[in-house]
Chain A
Amino acid sequence: MSDKLLEVKNLAVVYNTDDAVVHAVNGIDFSIKAKETIGLVGETGAGKTTTALAILRLLPERTGRIASGEIVFNGENLLENSRKEMRRVRGAHISMIFQDPMTSLNPTISVGDQIYESLKIHNYENKSKEQLNRRVDELLELVGISAGRKCEFPHQFSGGMKQRVVIAIALACEPQLLIADEPTTALDVTIQAQVISMMFDLKEKLETSMIMITHDLGVVAQTCDKVAIMYAGEIIEYGTVEDIFESDRHHPYTAGLFGSIPDLDVETERLSPIEGLMPDPTDLPQGCKFHPRCKQCMAICASVLPPKWQEGEHVIACHLFAKGE
């Protein structure tokens, strides 16, 4: 138990909108050990970002609600923390990198000051201004930006550099857990590679655990230790990178995801996507959430929740495997 840095147990999040109740996350479990990286993969709307926001307790106050579950971080349940305690956790112990570096920096404050700010908020050791400023320089150099540019404003940086600044802010207080919400989606491919390799070098150096939210399976293969495939608010397949990428047993959805990646060596006219769309989260289907799109759907899938098939750390929630065993 104690080696687990973060443990999410049976987490469910709902959004209460005017028209309907949106079931964004429906009872997911996963855990992260220190220095480990877990990839959360899934389509848009699968509940990846919602999970991340729930961990930081940053769900939109009026609509989002954690319906059930526990989020245990370092042995304490974050859901029982007061707002003040939560503020101490955010940024200092768990920090987040947002998707779009263009909008996640304040355009009216110089980048140096924005990094400084995060340090100052969590300055529990009463370090002097000078010490904090030196740390800002250090952080900028760490992400490969010369400290001389700290007085410049975000608009003077390119997208990739802005994301580096965002990473510097996130790492400022040496958090134990870093949540990266599609950190490279807004960047072009060459910059993506740079930013990701830099992020992982730093992660290794600072011994930070990480939750990597992405829909890029390539990034996952390269960087993660564990992978959780999410679909309609559930983790339908979970395992180590080897389990997901090497094993021949897969959830039909995962198989579909891999099937839709174009193969460089084979000439095809069209890509082969998974037919259909994600189910409406206000009106989820009975039984297995994936059954309306599943090519291997059986009668039982439409009515009974699939059991979890497990082999080592590899978990698949599908009737196919339960039957075979």
Chain B
Amino acid sequence: MINPASSASVRRYKKKSRLKETWRRMKKNKLSLIGLAVFSVFVLVLIFADVIVPYEVALKQDMANRFASPSWTHLLGTDLYGRDIFARIIHGTRNSLTLGIAAVVVGMTLGGTLAAVAGYYGGKIDMVIMRITDTIFCIPFMLLGLSIVAALGPGLRNILIAITITAIPNYVRIIRSAILTVVGQDFIEAGRACGARNRFIILRHVLPNAIGPIIVQATMQVGTMIIYSTAFSYLGLGIQPPAPEWGSMLAEAKNYMLSAPHMIIAPGMAIVLVALSLNLMGDGLRDALDPKLKD
């Protein structure tokens, strides 16, 4: 039945993997490439922080040189204890970026699973999940986070748990609504008529069609999560000083905003750059994953 020409084209198709195809299409979006480049720089900084500046520099206090403006010795100036801000930004990447991304990845995974189950099955399961979500929503964000940190003790891991749990209801809501628009469609029913399992339908047919809003939300949330964690640092429950972290640097700099603006600009810019680059990247990725916007 098959003619040789068509089987040749089949083989050509096999070589073009999903990953390559997505990359080919993402390449066309220059902004998302810029986002990817900036974000890659941050990841490299995270990995090679010690090569760029030794960790001690980030902690070394120099009281004679407090609030120094940016200069060749201190690229981004110094803070209220005379510590080099550049070194602190570099080493803060490790804490902040890990925290921001981990919080979103873990939160999205848990929230996404709950949302998919709630949206797909509906009925009682949906009811239970959504009412629990609503309940968590009702508790003020800070109060819930604080209680969790207070119970578990301060530290990077516990903050991560706290901000993840408090953010999950948000994700559940957004993802569930994205999923509800897909679940009603005929191809879901058609999948069932083909004898597919529910799990298979959720993973292969429901989620890929709801991925757009999920990616956008995820990339936006990284910046938000970094700033949320600041609040804990500010109250002394976050990453403990003197360890560098962008959020706590921001909080420290707040009091000197008018007299030493460089102190607040540096960590602020770092957070903005991470959030923006991820956002641009996510935008491009979403378009690249949507076959309807092909070419």
Contacts and interface: CB of A to CB of B under 8 A. Distances in A.
Interface of A: 56, 58, 61-62, 86-92, 95-96, 98-100, 103-110, 112, 117-118, 121-122, 133-134, 137-138, 141-142, 146-148, 150-151, 153, 155, 166, 169
At the interface, is chain B mostly helix, strand, loop or mixed?
A: helix
Nearest to A87: B195
5 nearest A-B pairs in the assembled complex, by CB-CB distance? A90-B195, A91-B195, A91-B194, A147-B6, A148-B9
A131 to B, nearest CB: 12
Interface of B: 1-2, 5-7, 9-10, 13-14, 16, 122-123, 185-187, 189-197, 200, 204-205, 208-209, 289-292, 294
Given A107-B209, A148-B6, A58 B192 contact: yes
A110 B292 CA distance: 11
Contacts of B7: 134, 137, 147
A53 to B, nearest CB: 9
B6 A137 contact: yes
B294 to A, nearest CB: 7
7 contacts: A87-B196, A103-B187, A106-B205, A121-B195, A133-B14, A137-B7, A138-B1
Nearest to B185: A103
B187 A118 contact: no
Contacts of A103: 185-187
Given A96-B190, A137-B2, A107 B10 contact: no
B13 A151 contact: yes
Nearest to B293: A155
Given A141-B6, A153-B292, A87 B209 contact: no
A76 B190 CA distance: 24
A169 B194 CA distance: 8
Contacts of A112: 13
B202 to A, nearest CB: 13
Contacts of B2: 134, 137-138, 141, 147
Contacts of A62: 122-123
A268 B275 CA distance: 70
A131 B123 CA distance: 41
Contacts of A121: 194-196, 200
Contacts of B196: 87, 91, 117, 121
Given A107-B292, A147-B10, A151-B13, A88 B189 contact: no
Contact of A106 (B9, B200, B209): B209
A34 B168 CA distance: 54
A58 to B, nearest CB: 6
Contacts of A61: 123
